[in-house]
Homo-oligomer: A and B are copies of this chain.
Amino acid sequence: MIRLDNISLTFPGFAIENIDLTIREKDFFALIGPTGSGKSVLLEIIMGLIPFSSGKLLFKEKDMGQTPVEKRRLALVYQDFALFPHLSVAHNILYGIRYHGIKKDEGHKRLDDLTNILGLKRILDRKPHNLSGGEKQRVALARALILNPAVLLLDEPLSALDPEFHGEAKNLLKQIHQDMGMTIVMVSHNFGDVMYLANRGAVIHQGRICQTGDITTLFEKPDSLFTARFVGMKNIMPARILQGNVRIEGSDAVIETSVVPDIEQGYMGIRPEDIVLLSQGADNPGNSANRFCGTITRVASQGMFVEVRVESGSLNFEAAWPRRYLRDLQIAPGREATIAFSPQSVHIFQHQPY
């Protein structure tokens, strides 16, 4: 649907370099990265608000680089929503219809539909400055959706909302994607949100793409240290691959993995929630090749789960277990614990410089 082909752009003190991206029809595509990584700039490049210096931007295989913003049939919803302060909610939503050849009747019909779906009926006559964050967002979405855009671009759609509205807004975006069959590109720095919403994505760091693909793949098989840390991979240890097994540097431990990569040296990572506690009443995974006995050295509560550190010889494992274990299984520092993780949860990746 949208393809970025080797796009580069240099600002003073910042550069976007050789970006290749393909966004497919009906994708919910996430551009993920820390603040200042250049992900919002990519959104503005796709929208046509910022010109790029080299490369190609294709839309349905046609070059879109020279198309003016207002002709692209893309819609962008900004993080701060950018509602027109002098117009009522209704007039904000109807703003664009005249430029898309939508008749007045049709426009009002769509307005009706959208206000029903988004629950905006009661606030149609209000001015934006009287709205809550969640309401503002829904108005901004309605203003974009009424035009039936080919692609919806979202700039950090959830970060300006209070935590109370967070869950609701997330569900709304998911619903829009599913019900309207829309292609969505979202910028986010929160991997939890991305996991919930997107099906594909790209991790961006310092103006370059680190990794792109299915969200599950990014999450489970990060191919660089940066991506691994960013998606919450823990238990990252330097490793050496010997005869199909992983040997941790500075330890005798040999670890089984299901996918043996074609490298000699790299890093091993295991997601903390993939490390299970072998104990009466807790998980008993069928196949637990990798078993370690150790001592619990730290238990820290993280809301619905607890972060537990287990020391086994010279190795330190970090696991995330349900909070209930504290009560039901008397997890506490100083206790012995046997932990295990399946070969599928052992991920090997190379250390890349960025």
Chain A residues with a Cβ under 8 A of chain B:
34-35, 162-164, 174, 189-192, 195-196, 215, 219, 229-230, 232, 271-274, 276, 281-286, 300-305, 320, 322-324, 327-328, 342, 344-345
CB contacts (< 8 Å) of A304 on chain B: these are: 232, 271-273, 305, 320
Could you tell me the distance between the alpha carbons of A174 and B86 in the complex, rounded to whole angstroms?
A: 47
The oligomer's copy count stands at: 2
Could you tell me the distance between the alpha carbons of A196 and B299 in the complex, rounded to whole angstroms?
A: 10
Q: Knowing A189-B163, A286-B281 touch, does A324 contact B34 (C-beta < 8 A)?
A: no
Could you tell me the distance between the alpha carbons of A219 and B273 in the complex, rounded to whole angstroms?
A: 21
Q: Which of B162, B219, B283, B342 contacts A34 (CB 8 A)?
A: B162
* In contact, A303 and B163 (Cβ under 8 angstroms): no
Main secondary structure of the interface of A (DSSP, over half): mixed
* In contact, A301 and B162 (Cβ under 8 angstroms): no
* In contact, A344 and B323 (Cβ under 8 angstroms): no
* In contact, B323 and A273 (Cβ under 8 angstroms): yes
Could you tell me the distance between the alpha carbons of A200 and B257 in the complex, rounded to whole angstroms?
A: 43
* In contact, B163 and A301 (Cβ under 8 angstroms): no
Minimum CB–CB distance from A276 to chain B (whole Å) comes to 8
Q: Which of B196, B274, B324, B327 contacts A324 (CB 8 A)?
A: B274
Could you tell me the distance between the alpha carbons of A229 and B284 in the complex, rounded to whole angstroms?
A: 33
